[in-house]
Amino acid sequence: MSEPELTQGWIDVELAEEFPELSLDYVWVEARSGRSPVAVRDRLRELSDRFTGLKVIHMRQDPVPWAYRVFFRQVGVDPDSDRTPVERIAIERLEWGGLRSANLLDDALVISTVETGVPVIAFDAEKVGGHLGLRLARKAELLGGGGRPLSARQIVVADEDRSLSVLFGEIAEERGVTRKTSRMVLAALGVKGVPAISVEEALWTAADVLSAHQYARRR
């Protein structure tokens, strides 16, 4: 299977000056979500064996999870209260005794995050503009153009017209993936200390899981 083409997102000047190594890469995938096939659920089961209590404790010293912890701090989020995506998955795995399957999209995002440590988010491709990027919220801006008000200088993922989601947070209701979605945009955030290859790997992994199981899911 050929690897999907990655696109580099734009970064607002002010953000780029503050965090020179910040990046947002994304990829377009023809895929639908739905119930995960057995192969994906098996993969989740295998991945859950990687997390032992000791490994989760030491995870915050691993380079990639640590890089996201530092970024969380630098943008005013306490990673011990609002956990980084990979730490959140690890804690859930310890609490539930395994990685629980939700649906194909969520499972693909969990698999790619566990494999690489890089968080990936998904949008409905039909409901976002052409080019994605990161910027600061504008004065009195609403999430997604018609959602809740964003606070000033909040970091958001956006297209050319409007914000799509708060970084590491809420996705605008009308921009997220639904049952009707047949084409998605997967986006991964790179921060200082995270190799570009890890970001690419995260996107390829998620795209691969989604694409490879389209036929299996429909059977």
Partner 1 sequence: MPDIAAGRTAIPPQADSVRPPSPPLVLPRTAPDERPARRTLLGQIERLESELSQLFCSTWPRHGFEWSVPSRGGPRMLSLADLEGLRDDLAERLSQTRRSFSDRTYVEDQNRRRIEEMLLEPEQHKWVRVANEDIGEPGCKHWHVRPRWGVLGMLMNWWRVRISSGCPLAT
Sites of contact with partner 1 (CB under 8 A): 14-15, 17-18, 54, 57-58, 60-61, 66, 69-70, 72-78, 80-82, 136-137, 151-155, 166-169
Residue 47, sorted as left (phi over 0), alpha (psi -120 to 50) or beta, turns out to be alpha
- Tell me how far, at minimum, the Cβ of 17 lies from partner 1, in Å: 7
CB of 166 to partner 1, least distance (A): 7
CA–CA distance, 167 with 3 (Å, rounded to integer): 26
**Residue 67 or 109 having the CB closest to partner 1:** 67
Where b means 16+ CB within 10 Å and e means fewer, 51-69 reads beeeebeebbeeebbbbbb
Instruction: Pick the closer one to partner 1 by CB: 2 or 61.
Output: 61
The 8-class DSSP code of residue 171 comes to B
Q: Rounded to whole angstroms, how far apart are CA atoms 119 and 109?
A: 8
Q: How far is the CB of 217 from partner 1 (least distance, A)?
A: 33
Beta pairing partners, 149: 142
Q: Retrieve residue 157's tokens.
A: 């993922």
Backbone phi, then psi, for 29, in 5-degree steps? -130, 130
- CB 96 to partner 1: min, Å: 16
- Residue number with CB closer to partner 1 (121 or 209): 121
Nearest approach, Cβ of residue 82 and partner 1 (Å): 7
Local structure of residue 218 (DSSP, 8 states): H
- Which residues are within 8 A (CB) of 2 and not within 5 positions of it... i.e. 6 or more apart? none
Q: Which is nearer to partner 1, 13 or 197 (CB)?
A: 13
Nearer to partner 1 among residue 58 and residue 131 (C-beta): 58
Nearest alpha carbon to residue 113 among 178, 40, 188, 9: 188
Q: Which of 83/213 has CB closer to partner 1? A: 83
Question: CA of 70: how far to CAs of 96, 175, 215, in Å?
Answer: 27, 28, 40
To the nearest whole angstrom, how small is the minimum distance from the Cβ of residue 210 to partner 1?
Answer: 26
